[in-house]
Every structure is written in C-alpha cells, then in structure tokens.
C-alpha cells in the first residue's frame, strides 16, 4: 500500500507504448518543472524488446521523503514528454548497492527480479539478500553492479537489479550456484508472483 511520504532514493518510471523507444528521453524531459524541483538525474535507461517496456531510473541527489503528490506530478510530466505514452512511477528505497566482480567492465544488460514475500517472510527475505544472495550474485564474473530496493508503490515490493556484461551471465555455473544454495531453495517457494526481466541498457 502506498504511503503519502516515504524515504526515496530513486524514482522508477515504467514507460510503455512509445512509438520510438530509441528517442532520447532525458533531453525532452530535463526542463520540466518537477524535474527542476527534484533535481533528479537519469542514471539508467533499460529497454525490453520482449515486453516493449522501458525502465528509467531517476536518482535523487539525497534520500528524500517524497510525497505521492510529487510522484504523480513527475509521472504526468514524463507522460507529456513522451507524447502520451503510458507511464507509472514508483518510489524506491535503496537497501543494498554492491560493486560487482566485473565492476571495471561495461554493462550492456540489466536484469531485474521483482516479487513480494509471503506474509511473515519479509524479515527472512532481508536477511537472505543481505547475507548471502546479493553478495553472492555480485561476486559472479560478468556482474558489474548489484542493487536491491524496496518498492513503495507496487504490489511487487522486493526489487533487485543487476547490471551485466552479457545476457548469458545469468546462465553461468557461478550464477546458478548462488541460486541453488540451501537457503535459496528454502526462500524461493515463498516468493509471490515473481517477475524476472532481462533488459538491454541504453547507450
């Protein structure tokens, strides 16, 4: 359930239905009033050819208690800048941010895992991500960066994302080994409506 004001590090825009997804988004939107007010910076733009959806990450200069009203205004201005494309906005609170084993390399792909833990499993989820899962995947060759957020405006509250050198990184033996630990096997049945999406990063 959405709260009026929540601690926000990044605003995630989900864009759909753009006639030309290759068209630069930040150039058209940079001068809008809410952009000037929040002083946010686009730090990542990812595109899924399979779903036709873009994820645009807007970094706030500092963690901000962002109101729902400001979020809605931001989404509306983004919608106008994209000529009426569908836009939804979410406030993300940063939980973890880890440099990957390949942090010196160029990331070309962006892998996102979204889900909600079953009731009474949210604390276990935090411990699993903090202690084992995110550090383990960050340490896989081909992972440039691993982050985990809490999505305050979507039913899929747990939001983990990985910048990758290659799409095949998630099929490597090292990646699969992290996913197949005893703790992971215990957690996975308690993920509700998990969604996994591979994006290409805009360059």
The structure's pTM equals 0.92
In this structure, what CATH number is given to the domain that contains residue 69? 3.30.70.260
**123 and 137 in a common domain:** yes
Half-sphere exposure of 49 (CA within 13 A, CB side): 5
Tens-digit pLDDT profile for residues 125-173: 999 999 999 999 999 999 999 999 999 999 999 999 999 999 999 999 9
**127 and 61 in a common domain:** no
**119 and 22 in a common domain:** no
Per-residue pLDDT for 1 more than 50?
Answer: no
In this structure, what CATH number is given to the domain that contains residue 98? 3.30.70.100
Least confident of 26-30, 113-117, 163-167, 197-201: 26-30
CA 131 vs CA 9, 70, 99, 124: distances in Å: 22, 34, 15, 10
Q: What is the mean pLDDT of residues 75-103?
A: 91
**114 and 80 in a common domain:** no
Half-sphere exposure of 193 (CA within 13 A, CB side): 7
Final residue of a structural domain among 92, 118, 143: 92
Q: What is the mean pLDDT of residues 14-41?
A: 70
- Determine the pLDDT at residue 51: 84
- Determine the pLDDT at residue 196: 96
Final residue of a structural domain among 40, 70, 92: 92
Per-residue pLDDT for 187 more than 50?
Answer: yes
CA dist 160 and 146 (Å) reads: 8
Report CA 1 to chain centroid distance, whole Å. Answer: 18
Task: Name the token pair of 169.
Answer: 């990184």
What's the domain range around 174? 94-201
- Determine the pLDDT at residue 52: 86
**102 and 38 in a common domain:** no
Look at residues 194, 146, 202, 195 and name the one whose alpha carbon lies nearest to residue 169.
146
- When divided into structural domains, the chain yields a total of 2
Tens-digit pLDDT profile for residues 5-20: 999 999 999 998 765 5
**194 and 100 in a common domain:** yes
Task: Name the token pair of 38.
Answer: 């929040």
């Amino acid at each position: 359930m959405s709260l009026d004001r929540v601690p926000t590090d990044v605003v995630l825009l989900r864009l759909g239905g753009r006639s030309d997804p290759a068209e630069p988004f930040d150039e058209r939107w940079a001068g809008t009033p809410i952009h000037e007010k929040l002083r946010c910076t686009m730090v990542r733009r990812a595109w899924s050819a399979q779903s036709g959806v873009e994820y645009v990450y807007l970094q706030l200069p500092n963690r901000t208690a962002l109101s729902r009203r400001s979020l809605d205004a931001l989404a509306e201005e983004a919608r106008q800048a994209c000529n009426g494309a569908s836009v939804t906005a979410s406030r993300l609170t940063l939980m973890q941010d880890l440099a990957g084993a390949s942090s010196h390399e160029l990331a070309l792909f962006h892998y996102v895992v979204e889900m909600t833990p079953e009731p009474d499993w949210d604390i276990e989820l935090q411990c699993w991500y903090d202690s084992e899962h995110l550090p383990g995947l960050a340490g896989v060759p081909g992972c440039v960066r691993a982050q985990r957020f809490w999505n305050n405006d979507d039913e899929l509250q747990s939001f983990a994302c990985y910048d990758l050198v290659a799409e095949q990184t998630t099929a490597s033996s090292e990646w699969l080994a992290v996913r197949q630990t005893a703790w992971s096997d215990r957690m996975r049945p308690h993920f509700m409506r998990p969604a996994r999406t591979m994006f290409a990063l805009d360059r």
